[in-house]
Amino acid sequence: MLRFNGFPPRLRALVTPLALMLAGAVAPRQAGAMDAAELFAAQVDKLVQDGDDRPAETLAALDALVSNGVRTPQERRLVLSGEGLVAARTGRATQARAMAARLSTEPGVAPALSNADRELIQAEIEATASHSQAAYAQARSALRGYEDACAGQPALCEYRARYHALMMVAWGAEWNSNNAMAVSRAQAMLELSRLAHDRVREARALGSQATIAQVDSDAEMADRLLAQALAVARDAHSARLDVQLGIDEGFIANYRKDPESARRAFERVLPLAEKGHFDYLLMTTRVNLGDACIKLHRPDDALRIMAPALAVAEKNDDQRRVRYLFHNMTIARIELGLTEDVKLDIHRDLVRWAQTGAPKERLEAFQELSAALNSVGQHDGALELFRQEQELLFASGEEHDMFVRQSLLRERERDEHRHTLLGWIAASGAGLLAAAAIGLLATRRHRRLSSSNEALRHHAERDPLTRLLNREGFLRRLHEASLLESFAGTLVMIDLDHFKRINDTIGHAAGDAVLAEVAQRLQACVRDEDLVVRWGGEEMLVAVATQPFDPEALLGRIMHALAATPVLFEQRPIQVTASIGYASFPLETPSRVFPFGQSLALVDGAMFHAKRTGRRSAVRLLGFPEDLPNDLAGLLDHLERDIERGLVRIRTRRMDVPDAPPRDGATDASPDVSALPCRS
């Protein structure tokens, strides 16, 4: 069943009050001053830990610190940041934005730090609203901000804030199927916590790595990492940490489709959460314990366990958590019998999801309601839910990942197959002639369904706005071409510059028009066998499987196609530029072949270097020395630094606006791109 938050269930265990810590040294200080600063930081840290459990009291205590206990601009910044994060995480978006705004005007605070704090607060606001892609982007910006602010500073500069940002980036990377990035960020969390001798964060980082390993189907590694986390936790003496690791254990069991083990894990930590008055963790435990009971076909137990959590969420006016709890309880009530009251609950559940503005979670809710209705024989109701969601399924490509689409498709196929079987059963007692006639009808029906399902699959693999392949369709083609495990070819990651500004100043209709036009231009620049993908939001990916292949001519055509002619929207010209990262694999050095996920992570890093160095450019990753770490995760962590040091070889091309196609960076092997226009 759905968890009660906007984070993906597979990585929700990473995000706890323990991760909401915002303190750390900014510059070298004398020992006494450093101790005083760290003591204050620890005080704020402890308060923020309590934020999810007791938000009103925590916010009041932090506000009192601003009035009575703040001695320096840095301390004031820590308190304002903490208030903003607690407010953001508990659904108080207006208050969170107000704290972020105050940070921007706070005297005596380095702008780089206050900007990073604001980005992190905004990331939590987006995550709470279930805007996964936006949260990921904001977290990455926050992490870059902290790293920039800490350049040349002691290793533990802003370590708590950096840990928090790393955690959110790890979640976002896993959500985007970028396993290499997720692993590297979780490893960075672990290294940072060990450097700080922070046993609580060390255990949480190990628990995070265990969850990621299980998502990647590495059960042995997940068990090993979880055992390490539990061993570290024994030295930390933190009841809250013990509860969180128990939740991690339950999540891992859920991923293994072992609800009985999940139930035992959640039941073991339930009294610990109650004794510690950890309201947020208690709600998390109850909703997931209830979920396990539903899977074990114990709906009465599920309702008994979740009811107290729903009462607390309603008392706190926490509509986000109310929504998830009410949904899971509706699933349990369906299993007990479809009464008129339960039908009303289903309607209320659907209304709640319609109000969220989070299409992915809404689709998942519809899928689970459909499955629950099927399980009690209400096939017509299940199919009606599916039909209602067809328009939503194809209405937005940004938040729908391949897993949702595939599971919905499989659910429909199961439903339709079940109806066909019911038809055969009905025919079995009506004589051979009737059976033969119904058999013929079933055969025709099967043909129609096969055609319908193929059409559904085609639509499910296309982004409805741009008609480009979406991730599901693209990854399916890579799988069919055996390119997922070892990718050989060229990848071009394109991120439209200042796209949010178009949406904010001209309107979302203009943004949609730009995306659709850019998609057409990109499609015209490639061959029929090449793939153009809407990767998410304003990011698009071009993949060329041909080897050997010189990408320079292609890049020239793409840059010219994007920038040479503005996009017209209602007679208004909109100039388009982009930040682009690209590479041909295998690289010049090292010559080994990377899996697709790692290749994509490297190209993504090149694209972000283009953004950081002024946008309107394309950065090609050529290679790096053989003596750099063989561990790609370590390389990704330091990619930006190593580019600046010249250890990673790149080629940068600037995007000319609005004249002829760019020439800089061209070589003898790179023909005159003006002679190679895209198809009109």
Summarised one tens digit per residue, pLDDT across range 471-525 is 888 988 888 888 888 889 999 999 999 888 898 888 888 999 999 999 999 999 9
Bridge partners of 157, per DSSP, are: 25
Predicted confidence at residue 372, as pLDDT, reads 81
Prior bond of 595 cis (ω within 30°)? no
What is the H or E stretch that residue 622 is in?
Answer: strand 617-623
Confidence of residue 351 (pLDDT cuts 50, 70, 90): confident
Q: Which of 133-147, 367-381, 583-597, 623-637 has the lowest mean pLDDT?
A: 623-637
Phi, psi of 589 (to 5 degrees): -150, 140
The upper half-sphere exposure of residue 79, i.e. CA atoms within 13 Å in the direction of its Cβ, equals 23
608 and 646 Cβ atoms separated by less than 8 Å: no
- Model pLDDT for residues 514-541, shown as the tens digit of each residue: 999 999 999 999 998 999 999 888 899 9
Peptide bond into 658 cis (omega under 30): yes
CA distance 622 to 601: 14
Q: Which of the four pLDDT bands, split at 50, 70 and 90, describes residue 417?
A: very low
CA atoms within 13 A on the CB side of 662: 26
User: Coil, helix or strand for 462?
Assistant: strand
Under 8 Å CB-to-CB from 313, ≥6 apart: which residues? 4, 283, 321, 322, 325
Token pair 């940002």 in the structure block, residue: 165
% the chain with pLDDT above 90 = 31
Average pLDDT over residues 196-210: 92
Chain segment 237-266, per-residue pLDDT in tens: 899 999 999 999 999 998 888 999 999 999
Q: Range with the lowest mean pLDDT among 283-287, 314-318, 353-357? A: 353-357
In angstroms, how far is CA 71 from the centroid of its own chain? Answer: 38
Which of 113, 165, 159 minimizes the C-alpha distance to 135?
165
pLDDT > 70 fraction of the chain, expressed in percent and rounded = 75
3-state helix, strand, coil split of the chain in percent (to 5) is 65, 10, 25
Residue 219 phi, psi dihedral angles, 5° rounding: -65, -40
The pLDDT assigned to 307 comes to 92
Whether residue 365 contacts residue 349, with contact meaning beta carbons closer than 8 Å, is answered with yes
Q: What six digits make up the tokens of 414?
A: 């199961």
d(CA 600, CA 636): 11
Question: Does residue 398 surpass a pLDDT of 80?
Answer: no
Please give the Cα distance from 408 to 364 (Å, whole number).
9
Predicted pLDDT of residue 492: 97
pLDDT band at 356 (very low <50, low <70, confident <90, very high): low
Confidence of residue 430 (pLDDT cuts 50, 70, 90): very low
Flag whether pLDDT at 635 surpasses 90: no
Identify whether the C-beta of residue 580 lies closer than 8 Å to the C-beta of residue 494: yes
Contacts of 106 (CB under 8 A, 6+ apart): 73, 76, 77, 80, 114
The whole-number average pLDDT for the span 613-617 is 89
Considering only CA atoms, which of 515, 493, 500, 615 is closest in space to residue 567? 515
Alpha-carbon distances of 507 from 128, 503, 569, rounded to whole Å = 24, 4, 10
pLDDT at residue 251 in the model: 92
Structure tokens at 515: 């995306």
- For residue 286, the number of C-alpha atoms closer than 13 Å in the C-beta half-sphere is 26
Q: Kindly report which listed range (295-299, 359-363, 663-667) carries the lowest average pLDDT score.
A: 663-667
Max CA separation in the chain (angstroms): 96
Q: What is the mean pLDDT of residues 71-97?
A: 89
More confident site: 233 or 320: 233
Average model confidence (pLDDT) for the chain?
Answer: 78
DSSP state of 154: -
Q: How confident is the model at residue 107 (pLDDT cuts 50, 70, 90)?
A: confident
Helix (H), strand (E) counts: the chain? 27, 8
Query: Of the segments 212-216, 338-342, 348-352, which one has the largest average pLDDT value?
Result: 212-216
Question: Quick check: 77 pLDDT over 50?
Answer: yes
Residues in the chain: 680
Region 629-638: mean pLDDT is 56
Cα distances from 503 to residues 112, 394, 500, 537, in angstroms, run 26, 21, 5, 12
> How much is the average pLDDT of 660-676?
37
Pairwise CA distance, residues 23 & 414, whole Å = 52
Domains of the chain: 238-326 (1.25.40.10), 337-460 (no CATH), 471-675 (3.30.70.270)
- State the Cα–Cα distance between residues 164 and 174, nearest whole angstrom: 16
Q: Are 609 and 640 in contact (CB under 8 A)?
A: yes
Q: Which two tokens stand for residue 284?
A: 């998390």
Nearest alpha carbon to residue 21 among 187, 167, 210: 167
Which burial class, exposed, middle or buried, applies to 28 when counting CB atoms under 10 A from its CB (0-12, 13-18, 19+)?
exposed
Which residues are CB-neighbours of 90 under 8 A, at least 6 positions away?
51, 52, 55, 128, 316, 318
User: At residue 512, what is the residue type?
Assistant: D
Classify strands 489-496 and 539-544 as parallel, antiparallel or unpaired. antiparallel
The token duo for 47 is 């308060």
Q: Which is more confidently placed, 163 or 64? A: 163
Band of pLDDT at residue 292, cut at 50, 70 and 90: very high
* Rounded average pLDDT over 16-43: 50
d(CA 11, CA 13): 5
What is the model's pLDDT at position 433?
Answer: 44
pLDDT of residue 663: 36
The pTM assigned to this predicted structure is 0.55
Give the type of residue at 450.
S
Please report, for residues 100, 297, 432, 574, the alpha-carbon distance to residue 120 in angstroms, rounded to integers and kept in the order given.
Answer: 9, 41, 69, 30
Q: How far is CA 60 from CA 48, 82, 86, 96, 553, in A?
A: 11, 12, 11, 14, 60
Identify residue 330 by its one-letter amino acid code.
T
Residue 116: predicted pLDDT: 93
Of 603, 521, 608, 620, nearest to 568 (Cα)? 521
Q: Give the pLDDT of residue 341.
A: 80
Place of tokens 């979780």: 186
Question: Is residue 514 within 8 Å of 567, Cβ to Cβ?
Answer: yes
At residue 558, does pLDDT exceed 90? yes
Angle (nearest 5°) at CA 218 between 212 and 223: 80
Write down the pLDDT at residue 632: 54
The owner of tokens 């890049």 is 555
* ∠ CA 626-631-633, rounded to 5°: 125
- The average pLDDT across 318-328 equals 81
Has residue 268 got a pLDDT over 90?
yes
pLDDT in the model for residue 37: 78
The mean pLDDT of 47-53, rounded to a whole number, is 82
Q: Which residues contact 450 (CB under 8 A, 6 or more apart)?
A: none
Average pLDDT, stretch 305-332? 83
Q: How confident is the model at residue 19 (pLDDT cuts 50, 70, 90)?
A: very low
Please check the confidence at residue 189 and state whether its pLDDT lies above 80: yes
Of 366, 370, 391, 392, which is closest to residue 382 (Cα–Cα)?
370
